[in-house]
Amino acid sequence: MMETRQTAADLPERIAELLREGHRGSAARVRMSPELSYGRHAGPAPYTARHAAVIVLLYRRAGHWHMPLTERPQTLAHHGGQISLPGGSIEPGESSSQTALRELAEELGVAEQVYIVGRLADCYVYASDFLVTPWVAATTDDPVWRPHGSEVQSIIELPLETLLDESAIGRMTIERGPLTFRAPCIRVGEACIWGATSVILGELADVLRQSIHPKTK
């Protein structure tokens, strides 16, 4: 199999360099925001916002880079059934990166050989008043999932190529009480990823494109 720039082993290092240089995907964040959001995912967040962190874990499976997404149990009071990145609230005394790694270990049972690659832009989730810091991490291991049953109903292994496939981007209708609105989504099989998760992954997709097709100076 011929190795391409999006499957090469040094992809995390190229992403890390771009993030250190301040490269972001602000256009994608707007493009992947639901109707009625009015740009609030990009902030600024109000002083009431609670702080949380999520993690994008990059790993190679059969020569291709993937990331895990979690389907929340339908029984959860908040975000039941939604597709999410591992993450949660920042606890006292923790940094946001420590929270991201802790939540990865708690939700999916993965802790060994994971290293931080870089940080994406903060994302304000106005529906729950959370300011979320997304971290990109990588592992050289072939991870074995040990999901926490009360928080994770199933795991979706998302190939990074899917984020770069424009045909995977669609729109879906959301009903929340009396409100009905449309939202961009990323389709992975039968699953639809939308909301803050799709906003974060939209930014990551733009960074990936920059790592694959670097601009000449």
Q: What is the mean pLDDT of residues 197-203?
A: 92
In a domain, 176, yes or no: no
In a domain, 113, yes or no: yes
In a domain, 98, yes or no: yes
CATH number at residue 110: 3.90.79.10
Q: What is the mean pLDDT of residues 209-213?
A: 81
Q: Is the model's pLDDT at 156 over the cut of 70?
A: yes
Dihedral-angle region of residue 43 (phi above 0 means left; psi in -120 to 50 means alpha; beta otherwise) = left
- Residue 77's domain comprises 11-30+38-160+197-212
How far apart are the C-alpha atoms of 88 and 186, rounded to whole Å?
22
Percent of the chain with pLDDT over 90: 50
In a domain, 147, yes or no: yes
Q: Is the model's pLDDT at 133 over the cut of 90?
A: yes
Split into its structural domains, the chain has a count of 1
* H or E element, residue 17: helix 11-20
Cα–Cα distances (Å) from 44 to 29, 49, 51, 111, 125, in that order, read 14, 10, 13, 32, 11
In a domain, 4, yes or no: no
Q: Confirm if 185 and 191 have CB atoms less than 8 A apart.
A: no
Q: What is the mean pLDDT of residues 127-141?
A: 92
Tens-digit pLDDT profile for residues 85-97: 999 999 999 999 9
Q: What is the mean pLDDT of the chain?
A: 85
Collapse the DSSP code of 136 into the 3-class scheme (helix H, G, I; strand E, B; otherwise coil) and give the result. Answer: strand
Q: What is the mean pLDDT of residues 37-58?
A: 79
In a domain, 169, yes or no: no
How far apart are the C-alpha atoms of 209 and 159, rounded to whole Å?
14
How far apart are the C-alpha atoms of 122 and 200, rounded to whole Å?
9
In a domain, 122, yes or no: yes
Q: Of 164, 143, 167, 166, which is closest to residue 155 (Cα–Cα)? A: 143
Positive or negative torsion for Cα 181, 186, 190, 194: negative
In a domain, 102, yes or no: yes
Name the more confident of 45 and 192: 192
Dihedral-angle region of residue 63 (phi above 0 means left; psi in -120 to 50 means alpha; beta otherwise) = left
